[in-house]
Structure 1
Amino acid sequence: MRATAPPQNSALTTLRGDLPDRYLTPDDIAELFEVPKETVYQWRKKRTGPPGFRVGKHIRYDPAAVHRWACERMAADAV
């Protein structure tokens, strides 16, 4: 029998269960929050979304920072 690799989790399921072990891309953020990728870019431009950083020409997001941002948003909406 051949061993099979464990199933790959999407950013959505991984972040909910535990923080992923890699930085997230704009595509991951769009999938996570179920919004178009253009919305993610608008959040960045307006500085209203999760904090991201550049790696060369690429944007990446720290999963812990995204989680904090989401928690802050939920707390602000609960008030």
Structure 2
Amino acid sequence: MTNLRYPTPEDIAKADNLAGQQNNLAGLQRMTRVELEELIQSLTGTIRYLTPVDLSDLIKVPEGTIANWRCQGSGPPYTKIGKRVRYSEADVIKWINAKYRDPAAEVAA
């Protein structure tokens, strides 16, 4: 498995300060894929690509579910390199953040 490292709140705060953005989810949501990959590269020193097995281990979902999501178009964006499927860590983080739900906001609505 690839060594995975999520950006810590300190890393995100550092990146937000560099980008002049507020430290919030909306700021990350507005970033383009390239900007997010550059942010991760600046924080970790590399752009990481995950295999379906890596993604399965990371989000604790069976590989079959990830394959189904891919076929249905409901999972994270992916790249095919030859016959191999790879997920950009930046795309996975952005996809996970897009799934965020605030229960307090849903109850108030």
* TM bracket (short chain): 0.7 to 0.9
SS in structure 2 at match of 1:15:
coil
How is 1:1-79 mapped onto 2 (pairs within 5 angstroms)? Answer: 10-11=3-4, 14-15=5-6, 17=8, 19=40, 21=46, 22-74=48-100, 77-78=101-102, 79=106
* RMSD (Å), alpha carbons: 2.3
TM (normalized to structure 2)? Answer: 0.54
SS in structure 2 at match of 1:61:
strand
Q: Number of residues paired by the alignment?
A: 68
Query: Could you list the runs of 4 or more consecutive aligned residues of structure 1 that deviate by over 2 angstroms after TM superposition?
Result: 8-11, 15-22
Offset at residue 9 of structure 1 (A): 6.7
Q: Percent identity, please.
A: 34
**Structure 2: which 5+ residue stretches go unaligned?**
12-39
SS in structure 2 at match of 1:30:
helix
The structure-2 alpha-carbon separation of the partners of 1:52 and 1:24, relative to structure 1 and needing over 3 Å to count, comes to: same
TM (normalized to structure 1)? Answer: 0.72
Which protein has the larger Cα radius of gyration, Structure 1 or Structure 2?
2
